[in-house]
Copies of this chain bind each other. A is one copy, B any other.
Amino acid sequence: MEAYSRNLDVANGHVDLSHGAGGRAMGQLIEGIFHKAFDNIWLRAGNDQSAFTVPGGRMVMSTDGYVVSPLFFPGGNIGSLAVHGTINDIAMAAARPLYLSASFIIEEGFPLADLERIAESMGVASRGAGVPIITGDTKVVERGKADGVFISTSGVGVVPDGLDLRADAARPGDAVILSGSIGDHGIAVMSKRENLEFDAAVVSDSAALHGLVTAMVEAGGRQIRLMRDPTRGGIAATLNEIASQSKVGFHIDEEAIPVKPEVAAACELLGVDPLNVANEGKLVAVAAPEGAKAILAAMRAHPLGREAAVVGHVVADDDCFVQMATSFGGGRIVDWLSGEQLPRIC
């Protein structure tokens, strides 16, 4: 057809309003960038929705919007983040992620080359995780009405028989296991945004955690009460959220929480607490005490859980406080942030 012979100039071109108009230019953008990068049989079928077959049983669905700024940061970009983040939300239910969808809202004038880089990262992340992006949508808004590109991804997954993780399932005596060092993602994004140079570059931990979760489930699935990925708000927000949903408290040991020296240094410089900083490749699991050892061993045997550690335990507490024994021998309450400390971190 006529318009398809006018090639998309990815190297020098920019997104314009016609790319969101439902006509030929949109078809060209979708084929030339998204289908090429995500390449799979579902997208090639060219429907407004994609079909797949499931065995039946318990499934989960999740969605997240991504507005990270800057769009590109050490260790990833908004595209890889949008794939990993939604896979992780599915995995936190102990589910096996099956399929993703992606909705793009793009600002007029956005370079096609940047869009292609983002789409390619999504393709790499999605293929790497074995979770295809099977359907999508593209909208374009006028210059100044968005900020480059926003991506919302959704995902579906299947839950293994007999597992039912719930936000209110933590019980006094349960172990709190953290899969690795905290603060890497938030500091990587902030460093890039603020143009900070550190001796050792901080790289986002953005990663898909479903492989780690599978290992944990095999080692002690029924002993896992619940899991969360501590993104926005960091582990402080995650633990406070669980505490209030399960109506329990936490005792946490600061010494046990891994923080990379370069992240600790950056946090000090930026005046933020690593407990409040976003992670994109870490999880917190609350596990029955009798299962903690086996789960921890399975995590440590996985590349994404080598630094996993029991960092505390659940206590009975009507005030739902998260209390931390500090490295200096004292103690303090770990609170949620009430304001916006690190905007647009994911």
Contacts and interface: CB of A to CB of B under 8 A. Distances in A.
Interface string A235-258: 001000100110000000000000
B55 A56 contact: yes
A65 B336 contact: no
A104 to B, nearest CB: 7
Contacts of A52: 58-61
A245 B135 CA distance: 17
A237 B18 CA distance: 13
Given A53-B59, A67-B141, A92-B48, A340 B20 contact: yes
A307 to B, nearest CB: 23
A112 interface: no
B65 A60 contact: no
A232 B19 CA distance: 11
A99 interface: yes
Interface size class of A (residues with CB under 8 A): 35 or more
Contacts of A306: none
A181 interface: no
A343 B103 contact: no
Nearest to A145: B147
- Identical chains in the assembly: 2
Interface stretch (A149-157, A213-221, A259-267): A149-157
A331 interface: no
A23 B63 contact: no
A3 B67 contact: no
B135 A23 contact: no
Given A47-B166, A48-B89, A53-B59, A137 B21 contact: no
Contacts of A152: 63, 65, 103, 105, 137, 152, 154
B54 A54 contact: yes
B1 A103 contact: no
A237 B166 contact: no
A185 to B, nearest CB: 13
A271 interface: no
Interface string A195-208: 00000000000000
A54 B59 contact: yes
A24 B54 CA distance: 37
Contacts of A26: 232-233
A340 B17 contact: yes
Given A51-B159, A59-B51, A23 B337 contact: yes
B231 A22 contact: yes
A54 B51 contact: no
B61 A142 contact: no
Given A67-B141, A343-B20, A60 B50 contact: yes
Interface string A114-158: 000000000000000000001111111110111100101010110
